[in-house]
């Protein structure tokens, strides 16, 4: 407790000294979310990274998020306190594999989930997040095939919502993949009055049980605006901190205790503190990749 308080104070002091902004994903540890200037979903975090006038961005999230910040704000120092925090789903698509697949679907518009490397974004036409995927795909010309990478569950959900035929990739989030329909059914039996909130990275059988399918920020907005008092949460555990903070009079139950992303938990207050002291580890993107990846991100931000 004392250590958390001491580190949090030090981080706040250093942050001013360094002219830094701290961005945190909702899956981060509660004490990390508490020292952030902005806590949000992947879309909100990209928007913040694009518009901040800070000199240093401390990204409490995973590697692709820090890379997106470096693409959108190339003049800023972007720090990722735990440099090994990656996203296994992002690693499920490589530039080489994508080039091969593009040859098989001539003329395809490649929509890449933001959970991809900068190099893969550079090989794609437009980015999306779970918050805007349906909107992005709907905005695309109907006479060209769509290839959606790498999240198969999100791609399938978007295909259903838009009525478009979408070529899918065999990628998935191995945190959301641990949740099964039987877990949700058991939670619903224990809490019959609760609404089921599902992230679209979940398996289709779980999405089918949802009262609302949304990005993390979308789920929080839904819970805030809903008349319901209880919710079963089908996404990573870190979000409970924001739910309880933003809806203190409502109850939230995690659908399974397996919903923990180790990469999102790898960032600690100690590491954030060290990053602000040393201004390391930094995430940079080579200019030739950056320019092309920026086009994909800017096309997304223009539609959103």
Residues that bind ligand 13P (CB under 6 A): 41-43, 87, 115, 129-131, 173, 199, 201, 215-216
**Residue 87 or 294 having the CB closest to ligand SF4:** 87
**Residue 82 or 236 having the CB closest to ligand SF4:** 236
**Residue 108 or 171 having the CB closest to ligand SF4:** 171
* Ramachandran region, residue 222 (left: φ > 0; alpha: ψ -120 to 50; beta: rest): alpha
What's the rounded Cα separation, in Å, for the pair 262 and 86?
A: 10
By the criterion CB under 6 A, which residues form the site for ligand SF4? 27, 62, 87-89, 115, 173-175, 236, 261, 263-264
**Residue 73 or 129 having the CB closest to ligand 13P:** 129
Closest CA to 182 of 240, 258, 260, 262: 258
- Closest approach, Cβ 175 to ligand SF4, in A, equals 4
- Provide the 10 A C-beta neighbour count for residue 281: 16
Asked if residues 28 and 289 have their Cβ atoms less than 8 Å apart, the reply is: no
- Closest approach, Cβ 42 to ligand 13P, in A, equals 3
Q: What are phi and psi of 3, to 5 degrees?
A: -65, -40
**Residue 118 or 276 having the CB closest to ligand 13P:** 118
**Residue 161 or 174 having the CB closest to ligand SF4:** 174
User: Among ligand 13P, ligand SF4, none, what does residue 78 contact (CB within 5–8 Å per kind)?
Assistant: none
- Closest approach, Cβ 38 to ligand 13P, in A, equals 13
- Closest approach, Cβ 115 to ligand 13P, in A, equals 6
**Cα separation values, 122 from 106, 201, 205, 271, Å:** 18, 23, 33, 30
User: Among ligand 13P, ligand SF4, none, what does residue 263 contact (CB within 5–8 Å per kind)?
Assistant: ligand SF4
- Closest approach, Cβ 235 to ligand SF4, in A, equals 8
Please give the biggest Cα pair distance in the chain: 61
What's the rounded Cα separation, in Å, for the pair 4 and 144?
A: 53
What's the rounded Cα separation, in Å, for the pair 106 and 69?
A: 31
């Amino acid at each position: 407790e004392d250590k958390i308080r001491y580190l949090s104070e030090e981080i706040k002091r250093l942050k001013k000294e360094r002219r830094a902004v701290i961005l945190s994903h909702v899956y981060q540890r509660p004490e990390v979310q508490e020292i952030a200037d902005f806590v949000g979903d992947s879309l909100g975090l990209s928007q913040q990274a694009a518009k901040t006038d800070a000199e240093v961005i401390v990204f409490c999230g995973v590697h692709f998020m820090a890379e997106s910040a470096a693409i959108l704000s190339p003049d800023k120092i972007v720090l990722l306190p735990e440099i090994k925090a990656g996203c296994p789903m992002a690693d499920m698509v490589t530039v080489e594999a994508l080039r091969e697949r593009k040859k098989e679907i001539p003329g395809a518009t490649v929509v890449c989930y933001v959970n991809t490397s900068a190099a893969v974004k550079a090989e794609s036409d437009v980015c999306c997040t779970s918050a805007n995927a349906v909107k992005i795909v709907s905005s695309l010309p109907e006479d060209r095939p769509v290839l959606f990478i790498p999240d198969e569950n999100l791609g399938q959900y978007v295909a259903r919502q838009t009525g478009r035929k979408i070529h899918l990739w065999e990628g998935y989030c191995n945190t959301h993949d641990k949740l099964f329909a039987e877990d949700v059914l058991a939670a619903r039996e224990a809490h019959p009055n609760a609404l089921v909130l599902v992230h679209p990275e979940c398996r289709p059988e779980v999405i089918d049980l949802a009262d609302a399918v949304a990005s993390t920020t979308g789920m929080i907005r839904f819970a805030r605006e809903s008349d319901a008092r209880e919710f079963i949460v089908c996404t990573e555990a870190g979000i409970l901190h924001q739910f309880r903070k933003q809806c203190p009079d409502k109850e939230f139950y995690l659908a399974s205790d397996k919903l923990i992303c180790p990469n999102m938990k790898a960032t600690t207050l100690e590491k954030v503190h060290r990053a602000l002291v040393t201004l390391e580890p930094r995430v940079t993107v080579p200019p030739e990749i950056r320019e092309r990846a920026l086009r994909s991100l800017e096309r997304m931000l223009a539609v959103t």
